[in-house]
A and B are shown apart, each in its own frame.
Chain A
């Protein structure tokens, strides 16, 4: 009888404990289910956002350059075209064409790029690419003379602020290495005027650093020596990796379905060293139209 009572007591204890522990477990399991549901929703969004798409873009920039020695700005208006394909695996390829139509002879450059981009943890974007570059025409319109370029960038994105670090190298007449550190403010609005439209206001500031071999790359030995001595006399070192410019970029993009229209304003302030070479500042606007259908 005593044994039965102890057994009964133990059983009651066990059942009580079971109810106490198991039912909260079931309640928790409901919570887990909800969490699972949210996760599945998030996963579905993630999966569906991994899509293939084309991007075809045409841009025009007026690109004004000022020199201390000239009263008027030098204008180098440019038409550019870009055709890109982005695969959901992260790999992408693009062909870029720029035409300097104010040049006396036909002047253009092309760039073929292959790259890979990946987003980690929903807020870190990584992008690596290789580019083959070709320039034809008036050499006065050529920036850095390069055939190959390797680029890498990392973006840290929050809802309103993004931080960017770019590193790129260019190999050609001279080998040059650059990096760019920047931050931008992101404001995007859905359904601004119509259903399925998208508005992005993304002003940013960035500082550029790099080597300076490209400045002297097509100088004669005498010109190179003279210019380097001049800079040294002004207190600037050459052949070093140093600060080169501060840039402001204010892009406004409005998209409706697969069509986007963008207007960007930019301003570039060269470093004191580049100012010593009579470069003042550079500003302009760029207007672009993009067509980017998902495939």
Chain B
């Protein structure tokens, strides 16, 4: 009986705990706004790092994407020029 009660309590509490632990998704910008509102005096503290990280990561991602495409274009151009070998072919 004790085991059943314990199990039921366990399940109930876990359910309640899991409901409370679920939070609606918050946009990064909102998190940053909340952080700054919470401590407006600390403009350059650790809380501003994510924004810098975000910008840096954005830039890196953009550069990587463009560079990947550029390499692909180079490969295609070189591939095309490699098949231009009909001279003397016959």
**Given A36-B26, A249-B74, A55-B53 contact (CB < 8 Å):** no
Contacts of A255 in B (CB 8 A): 63, 66-67
Q: Does B42 contact A (CB under 8 A)?
A: no
Q: Report, as a range, how many residues of chain B touch the other chain.
A: 35 or more
Contact yes or no, B71 A202, CB < 8 A = yes
Contact yes or no, A74 B13, CB < 8 A = no
Contacts of B68 in A (CB 8 A): 125, 155
Q: Which of A83-134 contact B (CB under 8 A)?
A: 84, 86, 96, 98, 100, 125, 127
Contact yes or no, A49 B17, CB < 8 A = no
Q: Which of B63-86 contact A (CB under 8 A)?
A: 63-75, 77-86
Q: Which of B31-86 contact A (CB under 8 A)?
A: 31, 50, 53-54, 56-75, 77-86
Contacts of A284 in B (CB 8 A): 78, 81
**A contacts with B, residue count (CB < 8 A):** 89
Most chain B CB atoms below 10 A, which of A25, A43, A288: A25
Contact yes or no, A198 B31, CB < 8 A = no
Contact yes or no, A247 B82, CB < 8 A = yes
Q: Complex formed: what's the CA distance from A251 to B69 in Å? A: 12
Contacts of B71 in A (CB 8 A): 184, 200, 202, 251, 253
Known pairs A25-B13, A143-B84, A190-B63 / 9 extra A-B pairs, C-beta < 8 Å? A36-B25, A40-B26, A51-B62, A65-B85, A143-B81, A198-B60, A218-B86, A227-B90, A277-B89
* A residues whose Cβ falls under 8 Å from a Cβ of B: 10, 13-14, 17-18, 21-22, 24-26, 28-29, 32-33, 36-37, 40-41, 43-45, 48-49, 51, 53, 55, 57, 59, 61, 63, 65, 67, 69-70, 74, 76, 78, 80, 82, 84, 86, 96, 98, 100, 125, 127, 139-144, 153, 155, 180, 184, 188, 190, 196, 198, 200, 202, 214-215, 218-219, 223, 227, 245, 247, 249, 251, 253, 255, 260, 262, 264, 266, 268, 277-279, 282, 284, 286, 288, 290, 292, 294
